[in-house]
Amino acid sequence: MFSKLSILTILLIAITLFWGCLGGIGNSGRDFDSSVRNKITVGITQRKDILPFLGDPESKKLLTIGRKSHEEYLYKYWKDESPLIQTEYDISYLHGKLLTIEFIDSTVNGFSFTSLFDKDSTTFDIRAVNSIVTDQTSEATVIKLIGKPHGKILLPSSFVSANVDVPVGATYAFMYHTSSMNKQTNKRELQSAFLFFDANGIVRKLIVRNK
């Protein structure tokens, strides 16, 4: 675990705040084609390849890392699917999704996606993460254990805070997100796993967080 701010500083806070907003009744944001994420190959896919499917983002953020400009596009949408007649409001009827894409110039450098909609729900078995061993487990084994990642970035990335000690030799990272209802508090709880890999596809660092 990092003692300082980690890769979660941007993404986890944004996602947590997003799910926290799911306490109101009604719809918000603009629906978007979340399957576009499956068309993304980081380091190759161009902005012009995906914007026709997604349209303009809800917000943009520009950051400079070294001599390069990194631009983040944020898409979010939530929907209230609760019954018209109910005796007590149940937050579990609220569904949402969040997609963040990072560009360097016009090339996708990274993306992160999380969703509570059934058709594209993001989930993973957090117990399987315990089987991952740093400096030993390969990318192929990670995917076999916990599935295709919900996000991927190339390093350096604006998704990683400047004061983070990125593992020596790490060149990219995977992200996994899942959200579930806590019946006692009636609040959504987010669990995330972040894995840094070296150029040979070996895990160099693993972070697991609960929010």
Q: What is the pLDDT of residues 92-151, one digit of tens each?
A: 556 789 999 999 999 999 999 999 888 888 889 889 999 999 999 999 999 999 999 999
SS3 66: coil
Measure the N-to-C terminal CA separation of the chain; round to a whole number of Å. 15
Q: pLDDT of 169-193, one tens digit each?
A: 999 999 998 876 666 776 667 788 9
The span from the CA of 203 to the CA of 67, in Å, is: 28
Q: pLDDT of 50-108, one tens digit each?
A: 999 999 999 999 998 888 999 999 999 988 765 544 444 444 556 789 999 999 999 99
Beta strands in the chain (DSSP E): 28-29, 59-65, 68-80, 94-104, 107-115, 151-154, 170-182, 187-198, 203-210
Q: What are phi and psi of 111, to 5 degrees?
A: -155, 160
Is residue 23's pLDDT more than 70? no
pLDDT of amino acid 81 = 63
